[in-house]
Amino acid sequence: MGGRRSDADARDSRAAILRRATDVASAEGLEGLTIGRLASDVGMSKAGVLGHFGTKERLQLEALDYAAEVFVERVWRPAEHAQPGLGRLLAICEAWADYVQNPSFSGGCFIAAASFEYDSRDGNVHDALRTVVRRWRRKLVREIETAVEAGELPSESDPDQIAFTLESLAAGTSPARYLQEDKDVAARCLRAMRLAIGVPAAVAERP
Amino acid sequence: MGGRRSDADARDSRAAILRRATDVASAEGLEGLTIGRLASDVGMSKAGVLGHFGTKERLQLEALDYAAEVFVERVWRPAEHAQPGLGRLLAICEAWADYVQNPSFSGGCFIAAASFEYDSRDGNVHDALRTVVRRWRRKLVREIETAVEAGELPSESDPDQIAFTLESLAAGTSPARYLQEDKDVAARCLRAMRLAIGVPAAVAERP
């Protein structure tokens, strides 16, 4: 019993550290995370935090995995059961717009923030991030291809072009919200996404 | 003569520090800039660098001003003499796409990188950045309004909606290039910009 109890405690404190790490990093960057600050935020010793993750880089990589899971839960999961193709693509866009309006982290989307922080750096965090964003790109491209094959989108649609635009729009809501003080970034993002997809007007007008 | 000579030297070394600071910050962030590293990069003492700027925050603010001037030179200046309205808006988009493909800083557009770094932080750098990006937003909005008034764009065009999309697309080229390894981000960005503006097909087909 004692063993299982302390395993559960260890999982809880690991999870608490990751939640706090992703929250801080979403606003202030993943590079600026310090073990000392995290330890103090979650009420542990520095040695305690290091005991869970070993190195700062390991913590950064696990924070990225954790944030990627949250992204999937918020943006993919609500759309997963929609009809593959245009239906699911639009459901993804709606969930994505809702996510950027009500992000799970205090600084907005962690993946977007980390993308801009690490895109032109080298190293393991960059590489892991590349894997995460490419996996998402492939999901988007596949959905667009399915919509084209089903005749729901024009045959000349360029899946990578559309996916690039959707990614840019979702990320762009963060400076729009915090620097331009655009109020309703979800609506703005979704309108622009539908235009980029080339949704027929009748579908675009859906509430 | 001696006084003028040393004034010129001081201007040169100030400029060298700012060039190096913006270059480093475009790739690794403005927050991570250290006086010690900059001093070593430009071959000065830490006291020498501090003599020019006083504080790290002052250096960050001046680096932002410098990068904003470079942005205006690269994106506004080539378009400035085009016909106000749609002609100038498209000229801006072309210059912007060229800029993101061949940025002046090693990590890509400094303003985009700084926007994602500082959007959800508080403080003077955030505030100065907000001023810079809002000034640019107003320029874009004014050009779109002029195009609408001239009947070059549909009367239902939403200038802030279009400007948000253009900003997002330009910024989005950085992760597209460095994480997705999209080759021709300029062409991709420009195609998406024209679609967002709603350029009539004949104009959009311009080489």
Q: Is B168–A164 a contact, with Cβ atoms under 8 angstroms apart?
A: no
Total domains present in chain B? 1
The model's pLDDT over A23-46, given as tens digits with 9 standing for 90+, comes to 999 988 898 888 999 999 999 999
Residue B185 counted as domain residue: yes
Q: Which residue has the higher pLDDT, A4 or B39?
A: B39
Domain of residue A119, residue span: 56-204
* pLDDT above 70 for A122: yes
- Burial code (b: 16+ CB inside 10 Å, e: under 16) for B149-172 equals eeebbeeeeebebbbbbbbbbbbb
pTM of this prediction? 0.92
Residue A97 pLDDT > 80: yes
Question: From CA A93, how far away is CA A166, in angstroms rounded?
Answer: 8
Distances from the Cα of A187 to the Cα of A94, A112, A161, A177, B77, angstroms: 9, 19, 21, 12, 33
Cross-chain Cβ contact A168/B171 below 8 Å: yes
Specify if A14 maps to a domain.
Answer: no
Q: Which of these, A143, A119, A26, A198, lies nearest to B172 by C-alpha position?
A: A119
B26, B14, B7, B117: which is closest to B62 by C-alpha? B14
pLDDT exceeds 60 at position A201? no
Q: How confident is the model at residue B126 (pLDDT cuts 50, 70, 90)?
A: very high
> Which one of B56, B96, B153, B165 makes the best mutation probe of the A interface by having the most chain A beta carbons within 10 Å?
B165
Q: Could you tell me if residue A93 is inside a domain?
A: yes
Domain presence at residue A132: yes
Token pair for A14 = 């690991």
CATH for A191 = 1.10.357.10
In a domain, residue A16? The reply is no
Provide the pLDDT confidence category of residue B206 given band limits of 50, 70 and 90: very low
Strand blocks (E) in A25-158 = none
* Nearest chain A residue to B30, by CA: A117
Kindly state whether residue B164 falls inside one of the protein's structural domains.
Answer: yes
The answer to whether the Cβ–Cβ distance between A115 and B180 falls below 8 Å is no
What amino acid occupies position B203? V
Q: Is the pLDDT of residue A207 over 80?
A: no
| Spatial distance between the Cα atoms of B117 and A115, rounded to a whole number of angstroms | 11
Structure tokens at A100: 């950027």
Task: Give residue A39's identity as a one-letter amino acid code.
Answer: A
Instruction: Give the position of tokens 């622009």.
Output: A192
ipTM: 0.91
Residue of A119, A161, A178 lying closest to B174 (CB–CB)? A119
Q: What is the mean pLDDT of residues B70-85?
A: 97
Domain annotation covers residue B17: no
pLDDT in tens, A136-159: 999 999 999 999 999 999 999 999
Does residue A98 fall inside a structural domain?
Answer: yes
Decide if A115 contacts A129 (C-beta within 8 A): yes
pLDDT greater than 80 at residue A1: no
**CB neighbours of residue B101 within 10 Å:** 18
